[in-house]
Amino acid sequence: MNESFKNSIDKYIRFCKNTNWIEEEAYKFEYANYINGNIDWESNSDSEILQVLQQSQKIKYTTDVRGIQFIQKSGRIDLKDFIALNDIKLFREFRIKGFEQVDWTERTMSFTALSAWLASLFPERFFPVPMKGFDQTIKYLFNYEKRKFPKVGLKYLLECQSFLQETWEILNQYPIEDLCLTEWNKFYKENPQLSIHIKTELSAVDKVWLVQDFHLFVHRQILDLYKPKNKTIQIVEDTEPTAIEGNSVLAQHMRYERNSAFIQKIKKQALAENKMLNCQICGFSFFEKYGGIGEGFIEAHHKKPLSERDGKTKTKREDIALVCSNCHRMLHRGDPTLVIEELKQKMNKNAL
């Protein structure tokens, strides 16, 4: 487990203890437990199951929440049309065949809402991904850099599953159960219409939604990704380092980086893909370490130094590495300039 993950769990537990987070998010656990505990796939008809699912959106949950807002507005044709009889047939297919063997084109709801239904009905087989943005929390928590992560749709849901499973395996090592159950049991007792018994341990449906809750926390409270649509993050202009003087190669390089519109475009693209703008060598994030003052800050390194080029050459995005200030300086300490993998090897060797 890396430091980002460990620190996030520590922050999550403290936040749960010191704020109203558990109470404010309890409605989704009540919803999930209600439908999971009131449906029997062997004895209930499709119509009976549909009735339970529709009723789940009429119940008033903790903190006076009626139903689940994102589900009630998840209809693909009509936003208010969030569940239909044909969906129950698809759910039965999923129960037998699995997610990828079902043709979901005739579903009533969005894919994110679909994941909420499936995770609540079949928690042993699916994790909820009821919102966009888990690609960002997964990249942050797992230092995920291997390939482009899907942001929406069926591929997005499926790509998230293994990471969410691993998230639970890590969360399960921490004392979260008692913390949550103490609060949830109060709500279950105060709301008998839910027909949820007092619990002494987490059920499967609690576990999958706890994973969602943790990623939601990282999304909102750590990465601060829940922002008004009109708010944009500005790329921070890099100031020329005072320790680099005259016409040295690194000084020329830094001046080019500061003045190049192309470099700024690369940084903006990277920021859109990963708000943390982690260093491609050591993983350091100025935003994670310093908060708002470090948001949008990173340095650009030419993998092939400008001083080694013959005349004018075209620079592509893959020719640029985004790195922290320390790694940037260390790359240029080499003679000739170190390549990315060389510095990574030196850093990893020294860490042993």
| pLDDT digit string, tens, across residues 278-321 | 898 998 888 888 877 888 889 888 887 655 555 555 667 788 88
Q: With 50 as the cut, is the pLDDT of residue 333 above it? A: yes
C-alpha distance from residue 147 to each of 40, 91, 217, 259 (Å): 40, 31, 24, 30
Sign for the CA dihedral angle at 277, 283, 286, 289 comes to positive
Residues 6+ apart with CB under 8 A from 261: none
Task: Please tell me whether residue 92 adopts helix, strand or coil conformation.
Answer: helix
Q: Is residue 243 scored above 50 in pLDDT?
A: no
Residue 329 has pLDDT above 60, yes or no: yes
> Pairing between strand 299-302 and 60-61?
unpaired
Query: What's the token pair of residue 313?
Result: 């050459």
- Confidence grade of residue 336 (pLDDT, cut at 50, 70, 90): confident
Higher pLDDT, 11 or 197: 11
Percent with pLDDT over 70 in the chain: 86
Residue 251: the pLDDT is 59
Residue type, 258: R
What pLDDT does 344 receive? Answer: 87
Mean pLDDT of 39-51: 97
- At 80 the pLDDT is 86
Task: State the chain's mean pLDDT as an integer.
Answer: 85
- H or E stretch including 60? strand 60-61
pLDDT at 253 over 90: no
Q: Which two tokens stand for residue 30?
A: 């009540």
The letter for the amino acid at 44 is N
User: Which residue type is seen at 321?
Assistant: A
Lowest-confidence pick of 162-176, 227-241, 331-345:
227-241
Token pair for 224: 């601060």
Burial readout 123-162 (b: 16 or more C-beta within 10 A, e: otherwise):
beebbbbbbebbbbbbbbbbebeeeebeeeeeebbbbbee
Contact 223, 276 (CB under 8 A): yes
Q: Is the pTM above the cut of 0.85? A: no
Whether 156 and 111 have beta carbons less than 8 Å apart is answered as yes
Q: Is the pLDDT of residue 233 over 70?
A: no
At 171, the pLDDT band (50, 70, 90 cuts) reads very high
Q: Which of 36-45, 210-219, 323-332, 334-343 has the lowest mean pLDDT?
A: 334-343
pLDDT in tens, 54-84: 999 999 888 777 889 889 999 988 888 999 9
Both structure tokens of 217: 């926390």
pLDDT(244) > 50: no
Please give the pLDDT value at position 66.
85
- SS3 label, residue 190: helix
pLDDT given at position 241: 42
pLDDT band for position 257 (50/70/90)?
Answer: low
Give residue 245's pLDDT band: very low, low, confident or very high (50, 70, 90).
very low
**Cβ(75)–Cβ(109) under 8 Å?**
yes
Where do the domains of the chain lie? 3-222, 249-351
